[in-house]
Structures are given as structure tokens and as C-alpha cells.
Structure 1
Amino acid sequence: MKFLQKIGVMFLPVCLLWAISGANSMFAQDIKITIETKPKKVDVVSSTDGKEPFTGQRPAVDVAILLDTSNSMDGLINQARSQLWNIVQEFAKAKKSGKTPLLRVSIFEYGNTRLPASEDYLRQVVPLTDDLDKVSEALFALSTSGGDEYCGSVITEAIKRLDWSSEPNAYMAIFIAGNEPFDQGPVDFRTACKGAIEDGVVVNTIHCGNYDAGVRGKWQEGAQLAEGKFLNINQDEKVVHIKTPQDKIIIELNAALNKTYLWYGSQSQRKSYATNQTVQDSNAGSGLSSRAAIKSSSLYRNVGRDLVDTYEEDASVIEQLKEDELPTELQGLTVQERARRIAEMSKRRAEIKTKLAEASKQRDAFIAKERMQQAPSAASATLGDAFSDAIGQQLQQSGFEVGQ
């Protein structure tokens, strides 16, 4: 079909030239036919010079994380769980035109024999979403089994199924992690990776094992084809969270912050949102300070779930909701009284976030100083290290300014 379309594109200009020049010019020389090819959706790796300026409300960042959940990957899943909030912090450092990005994350799993063979043992766990609590919940629900890892298939499905941003110069990336050869399965990884970058999506490959094995297994080639980075990690390396003097106050501020959320929807939905926020705080474990730092930033948003966040974007929400969809404390109030209560809660949240951001900044400085005294090696690199290695440079190539 594509070949016939190309013939059609070529045939039309020739016919027009024939009609204009007349039959006597059928043997004329120097007839030039120009065929314009459709440009790529996004040039994600070129210089920021010449890029279309950002004019939207929030610059777009879409990230799909593709995790091998075969038997040998328990360590990888544990790293993803414990380092999620550190990874998200990498995006919190970025701005475009002074605006923090709207981050959406998707999770896919592949290589798990509990999944249907007819679907190449892969599953979309979470679509692209800005609900980071939902992403965390999904990671803690993953389990490993079996081992038929088809990288080409899962990359192709991620490109096809997800509603990737159409914003010019959005940062769109796939991070795929696993340990088996990259060229397994019915879909050629070369076709998958070329298709991804043609749609403006960079593919970063994270090989769980040593460098040479990753090269032999085609992980490096996959990254090169999709203009991403080839990285190696030790999936069994235990993640160590550095304790800091600021942790105690951060945890206290996080608890106070949770009390400022006005969840809305059905009674079961409201309960689910509140419960999940608390559960993901607990799941963060010793990484709770990193999670709290994200909750103090604009990356952690609950539009469509929390009235404070939603009201900032659409004040009419308090008139549209039914009485039994409102938070219990707002039921029975007039529209004006609801608005006043939301404003009070918004002010309270802003005060807590300011204190939390300052404590987190002091914590980051403490951790940076501690790490300067350590000597990390390639053999001890983790999933979070791989993300950190790729994100900063690629965000800059998409027109973001990346701070510390």
C-alpha cells in the first residue's frame, strides 16, 4: 500500500507537467520532479536551535517504562518500586519557559508467562497518567514468572497503544529494561525501534548485566536505532537510601500535607483515593522523603480527584458536582462556602509545600555531600542510576532547562 501511495505521489506531478507542456514536449529534457517526504513528528535529538517555542500551559513529558517480569527480574522490580520517586525527581528539576512539565508515566510488563502467549507475554499495566500514586500502586502489584522476553513486541505495543503527546518538542521516551537478548520474538526490534523514533519517541535500553553481554544481545543496537542511550545495571544491587537530619520534619510535613486533600467522587472513590495515598506513602518505605519532595512539587497533581487541584483549573467544578460526590466536609454548604473552604485549604497546602520544599532542598544538599565521599562503580549501577544518566541530557535536547 505504501508503495502504491508513493507511485501516486510521483504520477500526479508528471501528469500535470504533461498537460502544461503539451504533447509535443513529451521528449523534453530537464523535467524535475520534487517529492516532499513527511517530517518526523518531533526532532528529539537535535540542537534546541530552531525548535518551535513552547506556548502551552504545561510542557509535556511522556515516559513509558517497560519492565521484564520474568523469573530472574525480582531485583529489577524492587529497584523500580524503591526508586520511583527518585526517578520522578529527575523530571522535577526540568522547566521550559519557566514552567514545570506535566509528567505522565505508563508501565508495561513483558516476559511473564502468566500472560497470554497470543499477546506475546506482555501487558499494559498503566496507560500514560499523571496519577503517580496509581503508578506506584501498579509497581507494587507486579510479580515475576517464566521467561519469554519479546522486546520488539512490547516496544511496538507501547507506541501503538499509548496516547503520546502531540505537543511540538515534547519529551517522549521509552525505557525498556531486561536481561535476555533484545532480538527475541516475532517482531523485529529494528522495525520497532525505527518506528518509535519516527514517531518522536526515544528508546533507552537498560540491560541487566554486563556491558559486553548487552552489546552481544543487541541492546546497544536497539538504543542506537531509536536515538536513545544504552545502559547497564546490576538488577540485584540493593538500593541504599541515605538517612538525613531532615527526614523527621519531612515525614511530619508529609502527614500534614495529606490532610489538605479534598477527594471527591462517589463515596468509594473518595475512600480509595485517600487510602491509596497513604498506602503509597507506606510503600515508599525509607524513600518516603523522596516521595514527599515530589508531593511538594507541581508534578504531583490530582486534577479530577482532589478539589483543591481541580478548582485551580476549573472553578465550575463545585457547581457541577452532586451533593453526595463532594467531600463530607463540604456537603450541605453553599457554593460560596465551598469556594471559601477550598481557598483556605489551598492556602494551607501552599504553606506546607513551601516548608517541605525547603526541607527537601536541605536534604538533597546533605545527600550530595555524602555521595561525594563514596566511590560508585559501574558494577553497582541501579535502575535509578540509568534513568538519571539519560534524562538530563535528553530533556535538554527537547528544549528543557535542567537545574540541580
Structure 2
Amino acid sequence: MKNTFLLLLAIAFSGLGCTAQISPANSKNNSNQINQQQQQTQTQTQNQNQYPYPGKQNAVYPGFSNNETDVVNAEDTVKIAAVKTPNEPNEADNIEVAILLDTSNSMDGLIDQAKSQLWKMVNELTLAKNERGVTPHIKIALYDYGNDRLSSKYGYIKQIAPLTADLDLISEKLFGLNTNGGEEYCGWVMRTSTDELEWSTDQRDLKMMFICGNEPFDQGPVNPKEQCKKTTQKGIIINTIFCGSYEEGVRTGWKDGADCGNGKYFNIEQNNQILHVDAPQDDEILRLNQELNSTYIAIGRDGISKKERQAMQDNNAGSYGKANATQRAISKSKAAYKNDDWDAVDAYESAPASIEKLAEDDLPSELKGKSKDEIKQYIETQSVKRKEIQVKINDLDTERRKYVAEKQAEMAKTGKNTLDEVMLKTIRDQGTKAGLNFE
């Protein structure tokens, strides 16, 4: 190990234009020593080329992440990565969730539950903190499977949204789903979502897959148990949600899918009505949400349409009642709700210089004809206003959570799971195991 270190040190110095001086008395010994070290380095390179994981250029080996490892060509210097030990604090920067929804004829109730509980799930995710006390970046993906409108060539499967932090996009796509008859291939949709999505390669990030349906888990040409192993090799946890009785889900392989995927198996009654609790804080939160919307400044080619989409998703959430609209408003007060691709305030906070590069045509009417300093001042004013509103909403949310928890404790239990109950419980359990803390 010492010899290897000396060789790497010599290489480093030579790269800096330095020359290692070797005394004549020791030149022969040092020459032999360097030859041995070069042979060791060559052997190490051969071993790396024989490593059983494919794709050497982009491989992420167990215990490593792409942020820590540089694997380069054999003739270049190889940088040795630091292995994450069990005692190393969890520094997860991402929470990634893929939701795979069966949209065959009998799944209308499931889709309704998903539409009405999206923002509740997002709010639960925003409560997570890593060891630095920072909320990880949240990304959600959405897949539609088991629908005759989709191509049989691709297993009646379609990616509705990639892993994205654009929560309005997820809401828009979710509310656009409709059911139709079809073949449900769980193994295939797991394979597609595993391979298509740009999952984090950092083993410390929390990556979860929720697959929901009501047909046998092993239908279709892709073996779910074999695919399960491939998915978990990427550090993705597979959770299965069967729409029907617990026993039937066990009998038709849904529990086996979760067991193989290091996840949880649940059954739900997809046609059950979700219980929404209206709280005294809701009216004020919804009023503040209108003020919050006024702080968004649409920029760029798609700015106006995306601001209109924001308002539409407010309406979609409200179509499931006041409590659900409130959950969305609360989500918009969190750091996870970010729109730097079309909102000047978020764009300025992400990259201040980007605002100066905007053409006159990319500016909204209220900023046209203004100087750069005037534009900057206007954006900063709106930013301060937004933060003040978000603080107020978060304070009200704290009060609201206490009220809702008390009311739910008073209500009789139905004994039947719904989508929100099983997903929220799973998020907390698996997040805690991954080293995250929940407020």
C-alpha cells in the first residue's frame, strides 16, 4: 500500500512539472521498486476491467457513488473512491418516487385516490430532513400501465412524467389519466421504469417505487422476480399495493413482489372514499394561496402557459374539496415547489445572472421597458413578499396538523386501507431506515 502511494505521489508531482530526485546510491533499489509498483498498478487495472458490473465508464459499484468515483481509461490515473462506512452520516440529497398506476377499467377508484392525495404525499416528503437538517430534493415520476389505449409493442405501458421536481406537471398528468381495458404486466412496467428513469446513482439517496394494481403480479412476458432483483441492484425499493383483499394479493404474488424488492406489501379498497378533515385554518391558508400566486412572474416562451397551469392545478385540487386544496397550498409554501424554468423569482434565486440574459420578449408586461436594476429590484420585492406568505402558511400548517390529528383520533376506524394511508406510512418507515428524520 505504501509503495502504491509513493507511485501515485510521483505521478502527481510529474503532472505538476516536478521531478523526483533519486540518489545514485539508491537508484537501483528504487528502479526495482518502481517496476514492482508498475506491475501492481497494471494488475489493479486488469482487475477493474474484470469487475462483474457492466458499463465501466459509468458504473456505480456497491459503496460508491458517481460523485465520489472517477473511472477513466486504463492509461489515465485512477482516482480511488472513499467507501461509505456504516457510521458515516446520511447525506441523502434526493428522494425519488416512481408511481406505477394500473389504469385498466376497474381502477377508477384508484386513480381518484391518487388525484386527491398527491399533495398530501408531497407534504409528507417535505418533512424529511437528512443529518445536515436539509430537506432532500424531491422528484416524482408517473407511469400508466394496463390500458388498451397504450401500445401493445411496449407492454401497454407509458411514461406519463419522468423523475421531475415539477410538481405541477405531475398534477397535470395525473388529472389527465383515464381508465380503459387492457393487459397488466407488472414485471414489464417495473423493467421499463427501472431502465428509462434517470435514477440517482448515489446509494445514499432514497429511491422508492410504488406499483398499484389488481391482476396477478406475474402476468406478462417479463418475470417479476428476476426484474425485482435487477431493480434492487440500483438501490430502488419496490412497494406493492394490491387493490382487493389482503389474501388475494398474497395469493396472486403481490406480497412476493414486495418481499423481493425489500419493500412493503399493502392492500387497499380502491373504491373507498378518502376521509378529508376540514380545519379552521383552511380558509386563511387558501386566502394566502391567492396572495402567493400573485408573486409569480411569468418569463420566457412558456411562462404564461405554465402560470395558467399553476392556477389549473389549484382548481384540480379544489375539485376534491377544501382540505385537498389546502394541502396543495401548503405544498406551494415548501422549498420542494420550485418553478425556476418559468418564474422570475425562482430563476433569480437559482441563478441571478440568468435574469440579465432575458430578452425583452421574454419579460412580462410589468417588466417591459425597465432597466436591469429596476427588474432586479422588482423581483427581490416579490421574493420577500413570497417568503413572508410562505412562513405564514407553514405556521398555520403546524396548527392544522395538530387539529387534524386530534379529529382523526376521535373518528372511528374503518379498518380499510386507502392509498394515502399506506403510502404515507411507507414513506416514513423507509425514509427513517434510510437515515432521514421527519418533523
Question: Do these two structures clear the TM 0.5 threshold for a shared fold by scoring above it?
Answer: yes
Does 1:276 pair with 2:309?
A: yes
Structure-2-length-normalised TM-score: 0.79
Distance between the aligned counterparts of 1:49 and 1:181, measured in 2? 40
Percentage of matched positions with identical amino acids: 40
**SS state of the match for residue 128, structure 1?**
strand
For the 8 Å contact 2:102–2:147, the answer to whether it is kept is yes
Matches within 5 A, 1:38-77: 39-40=61-62, 50=86, 52-53=88-89, 59-77=93-111
For the 8 Å contact 1:215–1:221, the answer to whether it is kept is yes
The one-character-per-residue Cα deviations of 1:332-363 (angstroms, maximum 9, x if unpaired) are 11111111111100000011001111111111
**SS state of the match for residue 352, structure 2?**
coil
Q: Which residue of 1 aligns with 2:126?
A: 92
User: What's the CA shift for 1:328?
Assistant: 2.2
Name structure 1 gaps, 5 residues minimum: 1-19, 21-34
User: What's the CA shift for 1:41?
Assistant: 6.6
Matches within 5 A, 1:206-355: 206-266=241-301, 269-285=302-318, 286=321, 287-355=324-392
**SS state of the match for residue 284, structure 1?**
helix
The one-character-per-residue Cα deviations of 1:72-102 (angstroms, maximum 9, x if unpaired) are 0000000000000111111011011111121
How many residue pairs match? The answer is: 361
Call closer, same or farther: CA 1:37–1:378 in 2, change over 3 Å.
farther
Q: Which residue of 2 aligns with 1:8?
A: none
Distance between the aligned counterparts of 1:366 and 1:42, measured in 2? 44
User: What's the CA shift for 1:307?
Assistant: 1.3
**SS state of the match for residue 241, structure 2?**
strand
Provide runs of 4+ in structure 1 moved above 6 Å.
none
Distance between the aligned counterparts of 1:253 and 1:316, measured in 2? 30
For the 8 Å contact 2:347–2:355, the answer to whether it is kept is no
Q: Which residue of 1 aligns with 2:16?
A: none
Q: Which residue of 2 aligns with 1:191?
A: 226
Distance between the aligned counterparts of 1:68 and 1:89, measured in 2? 24
For the 8 Å contact 1:150–1:183, the answer to whether it is kept is yes
Letter in 1 for 2:309: N
Q: Which residue of 1 aligns with 2:435?
A: 399
For the 8 Å contact 1:231–1:386, the answer to whether it is kept is yes
For the 8 Å contact 1:190–1:225, the answer to whether it is kept is yes
Q: 1:383 aligns with which of 413, 419, 427?
A: 419
User: What's the CA shift for 1:306?
Assistant: 1.0
Letter in 1 for 2:125: F
Structure-1-length-normalised TM-score: 0.86
Call closer, same or farther: CA 1:40–1:217 in 2, change over 3 Å.
farther
User: What's the CA shift for 1:289?
Assistant: 0.6
Distance between the aligned counterparts of 2:421 and 2:396, measured in 1? 23
User: What's the CA shift for 1:109?
Assistant: 0.6
Letter in 2 for 1:87: M
Distance between the aligned counterparts of 2:109 and 2:312, measured in 1? 21
Distance between the aligned counterparts of 1:142 and 1:314, measured in 2? 35
User: What's the CA shift for 1:40?
Assistant: 3.6
Does 1:78 pair with 2:115?
A: no
Distance between the aligned counterparts of 1:52 and 1:159, measured in 2? 27
Letter in 2 for 1:118: K
- Structure whose CA Rg is larger: 2
Q: Higher relative CO (CA 8 A, sep ≥ 6), structure 1 or 2? A: 1
User: What's the CA shift for 1:377?
Assistant: 3.8
Distance between the aligned counterparts of 1:365 and 1:261, measured in 2? 30
For the 8 Å contact 1:108–1:126, the answer to whether it is kept is yes
The one-character-per-residue Cα deviations of 1:178-221 (angstroms, maximum 9, x if unpaired) are 01110000100011111110011111000111111011111001
User: What's the CA shift for 1:399?
Assistant: 2.0
**SS state of the match for residue 205, structure 1?**
strand
Letter in 1 for 2:432: Q
Matches within 5 A, 1:15-34: none
Letter in 1 for 2:189: V
Distance between the aligned counterparts of 1:305 and 1:148, measured in 2? 39
For the 8 Å contact 2:240–2:265, the answer to whether it is kept is yes
Q: 1:371 aligns with which of 398, 402, 408?
A: 408
For the 8 Å contact 1:289–1:360, the answer to whether it is kept is no
Name structure 2 gaps, 5 residues minimum: 1-38, 40-49, 54-60, 66-83
Does 1:361 pair with 2:398?
A: yes
Call closer, same or farther: CA 1:42–1:127 in 2, change over 3 Å.
farther
Letter in 1 for 2:244: G
User: What's the CA shift for 1:53?
Assistant: 4.2
Call closer, same or farther: CA 1:306–1:41 in 2, change over 3 Å.
farther
Distance between the aligned counterparts of 1:194 and 1:90, measured in 2? 28
For the 8 Å contact 2:165–2:338, the answer to whether it is kept is yes
Distance between the aligned counterparts of 1:333 and 1:53, measured in 2? 48
For the 8 Å contact 1:70–1:147, the answer to whether it is kept is yes
For the 8 Å contact 2:203–2:235, the answer to whether it is kept is no
